[in-house]
Copies of this chain bind each other. A is one copy, B any other.
Amino acid sequence: MEPVMKKTDVVRAILGERFHMTPSHTVGKAFAPTNIALCKYWGKRNQELNLPVTSSLSVSLGDKGATAEIKIHHEPEDMIILNGESVSSNTSFSKKLIAYLNLFRPAGMRFHITLQSNIPIAAGLASSACGFASIICALDKLFDWKLAPQQLSILARLGSGSASRSVWSGFVEWHAGIREDGMDSHGEMIAYSWPDLCVGLLILNQQEKIISSREAMQCTVQTSALYAAWPSTVNRDLQILKEAIQDHDFHRLGCAAESNALAMHATMLSAWPPIQYALPETLLAMQTVWALRQAGVPLYFTQDAGPNLKLLFLKSESDCVRHSFPAIDIVQPFICN
C-alpha cells in the first residue's frame, strides 16, 4: 500500500519552519463568517483530508459567524469556552476541537480558546465551518504565521470541509483540486458584490439531525446509484452560478441554487437506507415558496443536511417574504450591520 498522506503532513508542509515558532502575541483573535453553499459540497474523495469529489460555491453571511480568541494556557489541559460556557473535554465538540489543535501546537503547549458564535447552533448553519475557519485565523495571528488566505483555507478544510470557504466574505468557490495532498483544494474569492441579495434563515425544526452530514455523505457516495450523475450536475450548476453572479441575474442564481440543493437531497433519497432530511414542515415551506414563485415572486430556497431552509431573494421582496414567513431571519451578505 502507498503511504497515506495525513493531516499532520499537510500542516508541516504548509507551516514549514513556522511550525516551531513561539507565539508572537499573547492573544490571537479572528472572526470568520458562516457560509451557505449555493452549489453543495457532497461527497469526499479523501476522508482524512476532507478532499471533495466536486468543487462548490458559497456566499458568506456577512457578520453572522464565529469569533475565536486563543491564548497560551499555562495548565495541563486546554480550556474551551463556547458562547460563555466552559465545555467539558469529554464532549464530542471538545474532542474534535482538541484533535484539530493538536495538529498545530508545539509539544506541551496548551490553549485557552474562547469561541463566540452569533448564529443559532442547531440551525444547520455550518457552525463548524465558521468555527474552524475562525480558529485557524486566530492561530495565524497568535503565532504571527502570516499565511496566505488560500493556505488558511487548506488548513481550515482539515477541520471541516466547508470551513475552507469561510476564510472569505462574499462569494467563494472551493476548487476540488486533483492533487493527492490536496494542496490545490482550497477556496477562492469571487470578487463580485451583490448588495441587494438576501438570505432568509428559516428555522422550521430545532430537533437534532437524524444523521450527521458526514455520515449521510458517505452513505450516499457508497450506495446511491444516482450519485454517479452528481458531478456533472455540479459542473452544470457551478457554471450557471458563476455567470449569474457576474451578470447579477437573480433568476438564474436562484434556479441553479434551488435545483442543486434538491439534487443533493435527491441523491440521499436514493441512498440505502434512504436519507430524508425534509420534515412535513419543510415540505410545506417548499410548497409556499413554489406557490409564491408561481404568483410571480422571485423567491428560491436552498437546503443543507437538515430540515431547515434558507430562502434566496432580493431586498425588494423582503416585505413579501416576511409576510409569508414571519419567523424568518433576513441577512444581507454584502451589507455590514
Residues of chain A whose beta carbon lies under 8 Å from any beta carbon of chain B = 224-230, 232-233, 236, 255, 258-259, 262-263, 265-267, 269-270, 272-274, 276, 278-281, 283-284, 286-287, 290
> Which of B258, B269, B287 touches A263 (beta carbons < 8 Å)?
B269
> Which of B225, B255, B269 touches A229 (beta carbons < 8 Å)?
B225
Chain B residue nearest to A225 (CB atoms) is B233
A278: chain B residues within 8 A (beta carbon):
283
Given contacts A229-B229, A280-B280, 12 further A-B contacts (CB under 8 A): A224-B263, A226-B226, A226-B229, A226-B266, A265-B269, A266-B266, A266-B267, A266-B269, A276-B283, A280-B281, A280-B283, A283-B283
> Which of B232, B274, B284 touches A258 (beta carbons < 8 Å)?
B274
Distance of A24 Cα from B169 Cα, bound (Å): 81
> Which of B255, B267, B290 touches A226 (beta carbons < 8 Å)?
B267
Q: Is the contact region of chain A dominated by helix, strand, or loop, or is it mixed?
A: helix
A269: chain B residues within 8 A (beta carbon):
262-263, 265-266, 269
Chain B residue nearest to A268 (CB atoms) is B266
Select the residue from A227, A263, A286 with max chain B CB neighbours within 10 A.
Answer: A263
Select the residue from A262, A265, A287 with max chain B CB neighbours within 10 A.
Answer: A262
Chain B residue nearest to A282 (CB atoms) is B283
A224: chain B residues within 8 A (beta carbon):
263
**Cβ B225 vs Cβ A227 within 8 A:** no
Distance of A272 Cα from B265 Cα, bound (Å): 15
Chain B residue nearest to A273 (CB atoms) is B290
**Cβ B274 vs Cβ A283 within 8 A:** no
**Cβ A263 vs Cβ B233 within 8 A:** no
Which 3 residue pairs across A and B have the least CB separation, nearest first? A280-B280, A266-B266, A225-B233
**Cβ B279 vs Cβ A283 within 8 A:** yes
A263: chain B residues within 8 A (beta carbon):
224-226, 269-270
**Cβ B270 vs Cβ A259 within 8 A:** yes
A229: chain B residues within 8 A (beta carbon):
225-229
Cβ of A237 to closest chain B Cβ, rounded Å:
8
A259: chain B residues within 8 A (beta carbon):
270, 272, 274
Cβ of A262 to closest chain B Cβ, rounded Å:
5
Cβ of A32 to closest chain B Cβ, rounded Å:
31
A287: chain B residues within 8 A (beta carbon):
276
